[in-house]
Amino acid sequence: MNKQFHTKLKEDTKPFHDLLESQTLPKKLYTLSITKEEYIKYLEIFLMIHICIEDEIVKFPQWESFGIDARRYLRKELLKQDLSLLGVNDVSSHTQQLKIDDFETALGYLYVLTGSTMGGMVLSKKVSEVFANTPYENANLYFNAFGVDTQKMFMEFMRTLEMYASSLSEDKKNNIIKGAKECYIFVKEGLENG
Ligand code: HEM
Protein backbone atom coordinates (compact mmCIF):
# COMPACT_ATOMS: atom_id res chain seq x y z
CA MET A 1 0.00 0.00 0.00
CA ASN A 2 1.18 3.54 -0.72
CA LYS A 3 2.35 5.56 2.24
CA GLN A 4 -0.14 8.25 3.27
CA PHE A 5 0.94 11.65 2.00
CA HIS A 6 0.73 13.03 5.54
CA THR A 7 3.21 10.40 6.76
CA LYS A 8 5.72 11.39 4.08
CA LEU A 9 5.18 15.12 4.68
CA LYS A 10 5.70 14.71 8.42
CA GLU A 11 8.76 12.45 8.03
CA ASP A 12 10.45 14.65 5.42
CA THR A 13 9.99 17.80 7.50
CA LYS A 14 10.70 16.36 10.97
CA PRO A 15 14.35 17.55 11.06
CA PHE A 16 13.13 21.10 10.30
CA HIS A 17 10.55 20.87 13.10
CA ASP A 18 13.08 19.60 15.60
CA LEU A 19 15.44 22.45 14.75
CA LEU A 20 12.73 24.95 15.74
CA GLU A 21 12.12 23.29 19.08
CA SER A 22 15.76 23.94 19.96
CA GLN A 23 15.67 27.66 19.09
CA THR A 24 16.28 29.93 22.08
CA LEU A 25 12.81 31.48 22.56
CA PRO A 26 10.70 28.33 22.00
CA LYS A 27 13.06 26.43 24.31
CA LYS A 28 12.82 29.12 26.99
CA LEU A 29 9.02 28.98 26.84
CA TYR A 30 9.02 25.19 26.97
CA THR A 31 11.33 25.15 29.99
CA LEU A 32 9.38 27.93 31.73
CA SER A 33 12.39 30.27 31.80
CA ILE A 34 10.99 32.93 29.47
CA THR A 35 10.55 36.51 30.74
CA LYS A 36 7.60 38.77 29.87
CA GLU A 37 9.85 40.81 27.53
CA GLU A 38 11.07 37.67 25.76
CA TYR A 39 7.51 36.37 25.40
CA ILE A 40 6.52 39.69 23.82
CA LYS A 41 9.45 39.31 21.41
CA TYR A 42 8.31 35.75 20.60
CA LEU A 43 4.78 36.93 19.80
CA GLU A 44 6.04 39.90 17.75
CA ILE A 45 8.21 37.57 15.66
CA PHE A 46 5.31 35.20 15.05
CA LEU A 47 3.02 38.12 14.23
CA MET A 48 5.46 39.18 11.50
CA ILE A 49 5.62 35.57 10.26
CA HIS A 50 1.83 35.12 10.22
CA ILE A 51 1.18 38.47 8.53
CA CYS A 52 3.64 37.68 5.71
CA ILE A 53 2.36 34.13 5.16
CA GLU A 54 -1.36 34.65 5.71
CA ASP A 55 -1.48 37.69 3.39
CA GLU A 56 0.02 35.52 0.63
CA ILE A 57 -2.10 32.42 1.35
CA VAL A 58 -5.49 34.13 1.09
CA LYS A 59 -4.64 35.41 -2.41
CA PHE A 60 -5.18 32.00 -4.02
CA PRO A 61 -8.57 31.46 -5.71
CA GLN A 62 -8.15 27.66 -5.45
CA TRP A 63 -9.36 27.47 -1.82
CA GLU A 64 -12.96 27.24 -2.90
CA SER A 65 -12.42 24.08 -4.92
CA PHE A 66 -9.94 22.72 -2.34
CA GLY A 67 -12.84 22.50 0.09
CA ILE A 68 -11.89 24.48 3.19
CA ASP A 69 -12.11 28.18 3.94
CA ALA A 70 -8.48 29.15 4.61
CA ARG A 71 -9.61 32.28 6.45
CA ARG A 72 -10.86 30.08 9.33
CA TYR A 73 -7.26 28.95 9.86
CA LEU A 74 -5.65 32.39 10.12
CA ARG A 75 -4.28 33.41 13.51
CA LYS A 76 -2.64 36.84 13.22
CA GLU A 77 -5.52 38.44 15.14
CA LEU A 78 -4.92 36.07 18.10
CA LEU A 79 -1.29 37.21 18.21
CA LYS A 80 -2.43 40.85 18.29
CA GLN A 81 -4.86 40.07 21.13
CA ASP A 82 -2.13 38.37 23.19
CA LEU A 83 0.19 41.32 22.62
CA SER A 84 -2.57 43.68 23.70
CA LEU A 85 -3.05 41.66 26.93
CA LEU A 86 0.69 42.11 27.50
CA GLY A 87 0.31 45.87 27.07
CA VAL A 88 1.63 46.10 23.50
CA ASN A 89 -0.88 47.86 21.27
CA ASP A 90 1.27 49.58 18.69
CA VAL A 91 2.37 46.43 16.90
CA SER A 92 5.16 47.05 14.46
CA SER A 93 4.20 46.81 10.80
CA HIS A 94 7.67 45.59 9.88
CA THR A 95 7.41 42.59 7.59
CA GLN A 96 9.82 40.47 5.56
CA GLN A 97 9.57 40.06 1.83
CA LEU A 98 7.68 36.84 1.03
CA LYS A 99 6.16 35.65 -2.20
CA ILE A 100 4.40 32.27 -2.49
CA ASP A 101 4.28 31.31 -6.15
CA ASP A 102 1.78 28.48 -6.40
CA PHE A 103 -1.11 26.88 -4.54
CA GLU A 104 0.71 23.68 -3.61
CA THR A 105 3.53 25.66 -1.97
CA ALA A 106 0.87 27.66 -0.09
CA LEU A 107 -0.60 24.36 1.17
CA GLY A 108 2.82 23.43 2.57
CA TYR A 109 2.99 26.75 4.43
CA LEU A 110 -0.53 26.36 5.85
CA TYR A 111 0.29 22.80 6.93
CA VAL A 112 3.15 24.13 9.06
CA LEU A 113 1.15 26.99 10.59
CA THR A 114 -1.85 24.76 11.33
CA GLY A 115 0.26 21.83 12.52
CA SER A 116 2.00 24.18 14.95
CA THR A 117 -1.29 24.26 16.91
CA MET A 118 -0.48 20.69 18.00
CA GLY A 119 2.64 21.81 19.87
CA GLY A 120 0.64 24.92 20.77
CA MET A 121 -1.59 22.83 23.01
CA VAL A 122 1.47 22.12 25.18
CA LEU A 123 2.85 25.67 24.92
CA SER A 124 -0.46 27.26 25.90
CA LYS A 125 -0.21 25.50 29.28
CA LYS A 126 3.37 26.71 29.63
CA VAL A 127 2.22 30.33 29.18
CA SER A 128 -0.43 29.95 31.92
CA GLU A 129 2.17 28.33 34.15
CA VAL A 130 5.02 30.77 33.65
CA PHE A 131 2.73 33.79 34.10
CA ALA A 132 0.49 32.23 36.79
CA ASN A 133 -1.04 34.80 39.14
CA THR A 134 -0.01 37.71 36.93
CA PRO A 135 -2.27 39.72 34.58
CA TYR A 136 -0.66 37.82 31.67
CA GLU A 137 -1.65 34.25 32.47
CA ASN A 138 -4.39 34.30 29.81
CA ALA A 139 -2.19 35.77 27.08
CA ASN A 140 -2.12 32.35 25.40
CA LEU A 141 -4.83 32.84 22.78
CA TYR A 142 -2.42 32.19 19.90
CA PHE A 143 -1.35 28.84 21.34
CA ASN A 144 -4.92 27.98 22.34
CA ALA A 145 -5.69 28.47 18.64
CA PHE A 146 -9.18 27.07 17.96
CA GLY A 147 -9.87 26.05 21.56
CA VAL A 148 -11.61 22.68 21.94
CA ASP A 149 -11.75 22.42 18.12
CA THR A 150 -7.98 22.67 17.64
CA GLN A 151 -7.31 19.00 16.96
CA LYS A 152 -10.48 18.72 14.84
CA MET A 153 -9.43 21.69 12.69
CA PHE A 154 -5.98 20.19 12.05
CA MET A 155 -7.47 16.80 11.22
CA GLU A 156 -9.98 18.40 8.87
CA PHE A 157 -7.18 20.22 7.09
CA MET A 158 -5.08 17.04 6.85
CA ARG A 159 -8.00 14.96 5.55
CA THR A 160 -8.69 17.52 2.84
CA LEU A 161 -4.98 17.76 1.99
CA GLU A 162 -4.71 13.97 1.78
CA MET A 163 -7.60 13.80 -0.67
CA TYR A 164 -6.27 16.68 -2.75
CA ALA A 165 -2.75 15.18 -2.85
CA SER A 166 -4.07 11.83 -4.08
CA SER A 167 -5.02 13.51 -7.37
CA LEU A 168 -1.68 15.28 -7.84
CA SER A 169 1.43 14.43 -9.85
CA GLU A 170 4.62 13.62 -7.90
CA ASP A 171 5.99 17.04 -8.87
CA LYS A 172 3.03 18.86 -7.39
CA LYS A 173 3.10 16.72 -4.24
CA ASN A 174 6.77 17.62 -3.87
CA ASN A 175 5.83 21.29 -4.10
CA ILE A 176 3.70 20.89 -0.96
CA ILE A 177 6.68 19.37 0.87
CA LYS A 178 8.95 22.10 -0.50
CA GLY A 179 6.49 24.74 0.75
CA ALA A 180 6.47 23.19 4.24
CA LYS A 181 10.28 23.16 4.36
CA GLU A 182 10.43 26.77 3.14
CA CYS A 183 7.96 27.73 5.85
CA TYR A 184 10.04 26.09 8.58
CA ILE A 185 13.11 27.96 7.30
CA PHE A 186 11.17 31.25 7.22
CA VAL A 187 10.15 30.70 10.87
CA LYS A 188 13.70 29.74 11.89
CA GLU A 189 15.16 32.84 10.23
CA GLY A 190 12.47 34.97 11.88
CA LEU A 191 13.45 33.59 15.29
CA GLU A 192 17.17 34.04 14.62
CA ASN A 193 16.94 37.58 13.27
CA GLY A 194 13.99 38.59 15.47
C1 HEM B 1 8.95 24.44 21.77
C2 HEM B 1 8.35 24.46 20.61
C3 HEM B 1 7.55 23.33 20.05
C4 HEM B 1 7.17 22.16 20.62
C5 HEM B 1 7.45 21.66 22.02
C6 HEM B 1 6.41 21.42 19.65
C7 HEM B 1 5.83 20.20 19.86
C8 HEM B 1 5.01 19.54 18.99
C9 HEM B 1 4.25 18.35 19.29
C10 HEM B 1 4.22 17.66 20.64
C11 HEM B 1 3.59 18.00 18.17
C12 HEM B 1 2.66 16.80 17.99
C13 HEM B 1 3.47 15.68 17.43
C14 HEM B 1 2.66 14.47 17.08
O15 HEM B 1 1.48 14.41 17.38
O16 HEM B 1 3.20 13.59 16.42
C17 HEM B 1 3.91 18.98 17.16
C18 HEM B 1 3.43 18.94 15.88
C19 HEM B 1 3.73 19.90 14.94
N20 HEM B 1 4.45 21.06 15.12
FE21 HEM B 1 5.45 21.56 16.76
N22 HEM B 1 6.35 22.14 18.49
C23 HEM B 1 7.02 23.32 18.70
C24 HEM B 1 7.17 24.36 17.82
C25 HEM B 1 6.67 24.36 16.55
C26 HEM B 1 6.76 25.48 15.64
C27 HEM B 1 7.40 26.82 15.99
C28 HEM B 1 6.17 25.08 14.47
C29 HEM B 1 5.99 25.85 13.19
C30 HEM B 1 5.71 27.14 13.14
C31 HEM B 1 5.71 23.73 14.65
C32 HEM B 1 5.07 22.96 13.70
C33 HEM B 1 4.48 21.73 13.92
C34 HEM B 1 3.77 20.97 12.92
C35 HEM B 1 3.57 21.32 11.45
C36 HEM B 1 3.27 19.82 13.55
C37 HEM B 1 2.38 18.75 12.94
C38 HEM B 1 3.17 17.54 12.49
C39 HEM B 1 2.21 16.54 11.86
O40 HEM B 1 1.49 15.86 12.60
O41 HEM B 1 2.19 16.46 10.64
N42 HEM B 1 6.02 23.32 15.93
N43 HEM B 1 4.78 19.91 17.68
pLDDT tens profile 156-170? 999 999 999 999 999
Q: How many domains does the chain have?
A: 1
pLDDT of residue 2: 62
Exposure string over 40-65, b if 16+ CB within 10 A, otherwise e: bebbbbbbbbbbbbbebbeebeebee
Residue 118 Cβ inside 6 Å of ligand 1? The answer reads: yes
For 163, the domain range is 5-193
List the CATH number of the domain containing 174: 1.20.910.10
User: Is residue 41 within 8 Å of 85, Cβ to Cβ?
Assistant: no
Residue 41 Cβ inside 6 Å of ligand 1? The answer reads: no
Residue 149 CA to ligand 1 center (angstroms) comes to 17
CA 34/CA 167 separation, integer angstroms: 45
3-state secondary structure of 22: coil
Query: pLDDT tens digit string along 11-58?
Result: 999 999 999 999 999 999 999 999 999 999 999 999 999 999 999 999
Query: pLDDT tens digit string along 72-92?
Result: 999 999 999 999 999 999 887
Residue 10 Cβ inside 6 Å of ligand 1? The answer reads: yes
- The ligand 1 atom nearest the CA atom of 27: 1
pTM to 2 decimal places: 0.96
Terminal Cα-to-Cα distance of the chain (whole angstroms): 44
pLDDT of residue 1: 47
3: DSSP letter: P
Query: pLDDT tens digit string along 119-155?
Result: 999 999 999 999 999 999 999 999 999 999 999 999 9
pLDDT of residue 138: 97
User: Is residue 146 within 8 Å of 153, Cβ to Cβ?
Assistant: yes
